[in-house]
Amino acid sequence: MLVCVCRSLALIAALAVTSVVFAQEDPEAILQRAIAAHQKGDVQQAIAQYREYLRLRPEAAGVRSNLGAALAGTGRYEEAIVEYQTALKARPGDPHIRLNLALAMYKSGRIADAAMAFAALHADQPSDHQVLLLLADCWLRQGLDANVIDLLAPLDKRDPSDLAVTYLLGTALLRNKQIARGQEIIDRILRNGDSAEARLLMGTAKLNAMEFNAAIVDLEKAAELNPQLPDIYSFLGIAHKETGDMAAARGDFAKELEQNPNDFESNLNLALLLKEDQNFDAARKLLERALRVRPGDPAVLYQFATVDLATGNFEAARTGLEALIKAAPQFLEAHISLATVYYRLKRKEDGDREKALVQKLTAEREAKKTESRP
């Protein structure tokens, strides 16, 4: 028995000595191991060592920023965002940390948050070309075409040779229905020879003109020239959907999401197709992603409500539709769905009221169509 007790005491003593050694390890040695691992590309080891260092030195904003970069490098953007935000509390004006935070938001699909971060950076650093282009791209993804035009038109005027600016501006002009100015951009790009970018812009112009089959020709050529071109399959999907080729549209939207999981149009349109297949769980996931790109978007909120309606979650559908109509009182389809929800909930008086509103809004819409005819 005495031997066992002695061995136990010896083991405890050894463990105590070991823990003291670890506790007394120089934090700077841990940091050097973290940096070395990061530089060698051993990101997981770097993350572990950065975390160990920060356990001892939690106030080290630069190291926390390094941890954020390592996490972002493995696609763990939400964790990276937390680290960058913590680092900024210690260094609120640090442009490097602010840029990395904005990039992590952008890559995680939090486009609205990224746009605000890039806008603040652009205000402080108006000559930073990378920040300007990323801000324009964020606004374009949010459908804020007028913002993109205001931001880039002066730059394009000063330097028409900047093709990145030219392309973003041309896309915004065409989506904003400024066809003549958009055509000038297309012509300028075409002077450098046929390109995927020019074909995409031409296809976009034809989409806006509702020349869907002609748009498909240009968009397919763009995809052939550069299959990695952002938005190409999204626009192709829209064109195929408008011609009634739903199988092709489904494939196009899926392809776009493979290379750009945060494309708003592809998430929304593929969700609609999945909803028609009654694949409601998959549709919800895509709608959630679309809403991260454009928070509060009425079209996405409406589709959430229709999924609730289709799955028998009438109270959730009612809440969503009532909030949507309060924000967008002329949203005819939302009124139609809300009337259906009220009737399903046995609220006949409310259903009748919505039905009357539907008839009124429909009459107003038809009157406007009549007035606009030549």
Per residue in 248-284, pLDDT tens?
A: 999 999 999 999 998 999 999 999 999 999 999 999 9
Q: Is 70 exceeded by the pLDDT of residue 220?
A: yes
Provide the 10 A C-beta neighbour count for residue 207. Answer: 22
pLDDT band at 4, cuts 50/70/90? Answer: very low
Residue 286, CA distances (Å) to 32, 138, 183 in order:
42, 19, 33
Identity at 245, one-letter amino acid code: D
**pLDDT score recorded for residue 45:** 92
Instruction: Report which of 116, 156, 162 is spatially closest to residue 139, judged by C-alpha positions.
Output: 116
Tokens representing residue 19 in the block: 């823990």
Domain chopping of the chain, boundaries:
79-103+112-193, 209-282, 296-374
**pLDDT tens across 81-111, in order?**
999 999 999 999 899 999 999 999 999 989 9
Euclidean distance between CA atoms 83 and 65, whole angstroms: 6
Give burial (CB, 10 Å; 0-12/13-18/19+) of 366. exposed
pLDDT band at 371, cuts 50/70/90? Answer: low
Q: Is 70 exceeded by the pLDDT of residue 226?
A: yes
Euclidean distance between CA atoms 163 and 186, whole angstroms: 11
**pLDDT score recorded for residue 24:** 55
User: 131 with 163: CB under 8 angstroms?
Assistant: no
Separation of CA 107 from chain center: 8
**pLDDT score recorded for residue 256:** 96
Q: Is 50 exceeded by the pLDDT of residue 6?
A: no
Tokens representing residue 129 in the block: 């070309």
Euclidean distance between CA atoms 332 and 343, whole angstroms: 17
Instruction: Report which of 135, 74, 131 is spatially closest to residue 108, judged by C-alpha positions.
Output: 74
User: 104 with 85: CB under 8 angstroms?
Assistant: no
**pLDDT score recorded for residue 191:** 84
DSSP label of 278: T
Which string of DSSP letters, residue by residue, matches 115-133?
Answer: HHHHHHHHHH-TT-HHHHH
Euclidean distance between CA atoms 32 and 38, whole angstroms: 10
Task: Please indicate whether the domains covering 209-282 and 296-374 agree at the CATH topology level.
Answer: yes
**pLDDT score recorded for residue 213:** 95
Domain at 79-103+112-193: CATH architecture: Alpha Horseshoe (1.25)
DSSP label of 261: T
* CATH class of this structure's domain 209-282: mainly alpha
Q: Which residue is it, tokens 């080891």?
A: 45
Contacting residues for 289 by C-beta, under 8 A, at least 6 apart: 109, 261, 262, 267
Length of the chain counted residue by residue: 374
Q: 3-state class of 297 per DSSP?
A: coil
Domain at 296-374: CATH architecture: Alpha Horseshoe (1.25)
Q: Is 60 exceeded by the pLDDT of residue 332?
A: yes
Separation of CA 116 from chain center: 13
Instruction: Report which of 312, 305, 362 is spatially closest to residue 337, judged by C-alpha positions.
Output: 305
Beta strand spans in 309-353 (E): none
Q: Is 90 exceeded by the pLDDT of residue 241?
A: yes
Q: Give 123's Cβ-side CA count (13 Å radius).
A: 8
Euclidean distance between CA atoms 362 and 51, whole angstroms: 60
Q: Is 90 exceeded by the pLDDT of residue 139?
A: yes
Instruction: Report which of 281, 357, 287, 343 is spatially closest to residue 314, judged by C-alpha positions.
Output: 343
